[in-house]
Amino acid sequence: MNDDEINLFARTQTGVAHCPCSNMRLASGIAPVRKMIDSGVPVGLGVDGSSSSDSGHLLNEARQTMLLQRVMSGADNLTARQALRLATRGGADVLNRKDIGQIAPGFAADIAIFNLNCIELSGTQTDPLAGLIFCGPVKPRHVLINGSWVVRDNQLLTLSLPDLLVRHDGQAKALFNRA
């Protein structure tokens, strides 16, 4: 995006769903996220999943966003907390939703709980939030969506994971064969 486009997005409050892993895979460049934020453009993070990034891990998108912005303009360009904000409140801003994106009274109870006592997060107890972003993808131990448990003790409660994987693989093969 050039400066005129960024200014137009800011003026019209047009949101951007930034998908850095997809952008890297497709070699479509590095989005000027810091410039968009500073200009007042609503920016959130997205995952393109199987279509072009082969991942659905939002914290990895936050990490890649932070690292790419630092490559562009230095280590102070985007902090881990700012990257996490893009993944939470930023998404709510892009969707113009006032009931999601933070843990507060009246908001949907969408909460991921992580086990900090794992090798992936070893040494991050002084700043576990930054550890979640810097240390790469870690699976949540528990997930609450709109007040209902979806994952408890690393077990999916709402769907049969084996059945879901079979369906997903079948659809992926069908799409590949059509191409």
Residue 103 has pLDDT above 80, yes or no: yes
Q: Which two tokens stand for residue 27?
A: 């070699």
Cβ contact 116:125 at 8 Å: yes
So what's the pLDDT on residue 53?
64
Q: Which two tokens stand for residue 71?
A: 């490559």
Band (pLDDT 50/70/90 cuts) for residue 44 is very high
The answer to whether the pTM exceeds 0.85 is: yes
So what's the pLDDT on residue 137?
80
DSSP character string of 102-143: S-STTS---EEE--SSSGGGTT-TTSHHHHHHHT-----SEE
Task: Tell me phi and psi for residue 112, to 5 degrees.
Answer: -110, 130
DSSP character string of 45-61: E---GGGTTS---HHHH
Residue 51 has pLDDT above 90, yes or no: no
Q: Is the dihedral of CA 100, 102, 103, 104 positive or negative?
A: negative
pLDDT in tens, 1-19: 999 999 999 999 999 999 9
Which structural domains are found in the chain, ordered by start? 1-102 (no CATH), 109-179 (2.30.40.10)
Element (DSSP H or E) covering residue 171: helix 161-178
CB-side neighbour CA atoms (13 Å) of 72: 15
